[in-house]
Amino acid sequence: MFKRKAFTLIELLVVIAIIAVLMGILMPALQRVRKQAKGVVCRSNLKQIGMAAGLYAEDHDLVIPRSAGWSTITEMRPWFQCFMPFLAEKPIADDYRTVKMFRCPSYPDKEQTLGYVVNGWPDREGGPSWHTSRLTECEHPATTIYLADNEDGPWRTIIRKATDRDLTRCDVWTETHLPDSDSRDITRGRRVARARHRHGCNVLLLDWHVEWMAAEEMTVNMWKFKQ
């Protein structure tokens, strides 16, 4: 009669230790893959928004909105609502909050409904450009940013609906809004994400291509329509 073989307690502990070591090795790699996947989704979001913006411009004499302010631009609506009819992803009940591509999947506060900030850079020194502009006014569309990842932090506004009073705090119109700024002022503080994806952010440029940009590479001139 044969004796039934079984694992000893020591052997079981060795197996558990090996599994723990393998998990310790694999988890950081899996987290990196997950972050990269979110970055890909974010770039895809911006690309689709860019396609919608291009279609909107074609229907509006090459005019695009330059502000998130709901009462200051064409059609009395912010840029994201202007583009909704041209998106492949259709909103439910005309509510922009049902459109997933307006949110970066890496934004830490899931109550944020607007994951991107828009180019409101003034044509002259002063306040933001709360108006529309023709694409033909932009001298270098391939290097001029239209949208970028929205920064998160205690000084940043969480947008919950299209009529929020602080919606214009998602406009970029001064140097201290850029990712290399250390300002956390509610009005003048950093608005473009410094490290949303790796050590930079995703941007949509005015020729409607999308790219990742390191925080230290972004300059004031990349936001100006006219150099």
Both tokens of 100, joined, read 């997933």
Mean pLDDT (the chain) is 88
**pLDDT tens string 97-120:** 999 999 999 999 999 999 999 999
To which residue do tokens 């440029």 refer?
Answer: 205
Domain residue spans in the chain? Answer: 10-223
Structure-derived torsion over alpha carbons of residues 111, 49, 42, 145, reported in degrees to the nearest 10: -100
Q: Sorting pLDDT into bands at 50, 70 and 90, what band is 10?
A: confident
Helix/strand number for the chain, H first, E second: 2, 7
**pLDDT tens string 50-67:** 999 999 999 999 999 988
Give pLDDT, residue 74.
45
Residue 201 has pLDDT above 80, yes or no: yes
pTM of the model: 0.84
